[in-house]
Amino acid sequence: MVFPLTTQKKVQIFFLKHKSGRELNVEAVTSNKPSENEINATEMSEEDFLNYSSLKLLRKISDKRDLFLGDGGKKHPYSSLEHVKGKPFVVAIAPFDNDLSFSQNNTAINKVLYGVEPPKQNYDGTFNVKKSSHIETYSGDKVKVGIFTDDSFKEISAVIFSTTGMFGKAILQGGIDCMVKSTRYRQSNIVDFLSNEGAKKLGIAQSKLSDTHEVISMRQPLDDIVFGSDMHFCKSSEYTETHLDGLHIYYNPYAEIPLHKNIFQAHEITHNFYDTSSKEMICHHNDGSLVSRQVFTNKN
C-alpha cells in the first residue's frame, strides 16, 4: 500500500495517489472534548455513553459533508476543487471527545454508519444484533443514524476509523515500558483448527506464554470456520503492533463515487460493508486483526 502524498493543495484534504494510478481525497478530523461542561464518561450508563459517542462522530462527519457541498456559505466547497472532482471523498475520523473514547471500539461508528447496535449474547451462546434508525437526545430530539444505509450521505465514499491510533500507540511504538491488554480477532478453517489445536481448544481456554504474558482465548465453530478472540495481557517488550493495527474502513454502498475495494490492502485493516439487499453489515476481518488495546504505565 503506497500513497505518495500531494501537499501543494491549499486545503485541509490529503490528496492521495495509489501506485495503480487511482486517486482519492481524504479529510481527517477528530471528535473533541467540549470547551466547557466536560462530560464525565465514567458516570454514564452504557447506553448513554454509546449515544453520546455516536452523536459526536455523526456531527463531525456531517460537518465534513457540509464542507464538501458548500452548505453554510463556504466560498469554495471541496466539491468545486479540480483535484476533488470525480474522485472518492473519504473522511478519516478518530474519537477524542472524552477520557474513555478509546473504549467504544467500533460500536459507535457501526451505529452511525450502518445503524447497528452492539451485539447481545443470548443464553444459548448465539448473538442478537438490533438495528437503530435514530438516537434520542437529552432534549427529546431524534437524530437519524445509519447514514450509509441510504443515499443521504452519497457524497462520502467511505469512512476510515480507529480507536487504537491514540496515545497508547505512541507509547508502544516509542518503546516505553508498560503493560498491555489487547484483544485480537481469530479465525481459521475448522479442519485446520481441529487438526492443529484439537476440539479441546473450543470454548474458553487460558494459557501462559511466559511469567508475564497471559492469554485468554475464546473459540467457537460456525459452518466451516472456527472464530473467536485472543486477549493478551503482557509486557510491552512481549508485544508488537503496527501503525495500521486496529484500522477500519467503512464503505458507502450509495456513494456517488465509490472507493475501490482494493485500494487499502494491508492485512491489518478490517473492511466493513453494508449489503443493500439483506440490510446487513458485513465485516471482513483478517485473522489477527486488532480489536482493542489498552496500555498501563508505571506512575512512578
Section 86-108 average pLDDT: 86
Please give the residue that has the higher pLDDT: either 256 or 49: 256
Domain ranges across the chain:
5-169+242-285
Reported as a single tens digit per residue, the pLDDT across 265-275 is 999 999 999 99
Please give the residue that has the higher pLDDT: either 26 or 128: 26
What is the reported pLDDT for 90? 96
Whether residue 148 contacts residue 276, with contact meaning beta carbons closer than 8 Å, is answered with no
Residue 34 has pLDDT above 50, yes or no: yes
pLDDT category of residue 142 using cuts at 50, 70 and 90: very high
The partner residues of 186 in beta bridges, in order of sequence, read 228
What is the reported pLDDT for 178? 94
What is the reported pLDDT for 7? 46
Contact partners, residue 105, CB within 8 Å, separation at least 6: 163, 291, 292
Task: Report the chain's terminal Cα–Cα distance, integer Å.
Answer: 40
Residue 128 has pLDDT above 80, yes or no: no
Reported as a single tens digit per residue, the pLDDT across 167-202 is 889 999 899 999 999 999 999 999 999 999 888 889
Mean pLDDT, the chain, integer: 88
187-205 as b/e: b if 16+ CB within 10 A: bbeeeebeeeeeeebbeee
Reported as a single tens digit per residue, the pLDDT across 216-242 is 999 999 899 999 999 999 999 999 999
pLDDT category of residue 300 using cuts at 50, 70 and 90: low
What is the reported pLDDT for 8? 42
Q: Cell for 14?
A: 490529503
Percent of the chain with pLDDT over 90: 58
What is the reported pLDDT for 277? 96
Q: Which range, of 25-39, 99-113, 132-146, 260-274, averages the lowest pLDDT?
A: 25-39
Section 63-91 average pLDDT: 86
pLDDT category of residue 137 using cuts at 50, 70 and 90: confident
What is the reported pLDDT for 202? 92
Alpha-carbon span 238 to 287, nearest angstrom: 19
What is the reported pLDDT for 99? 74
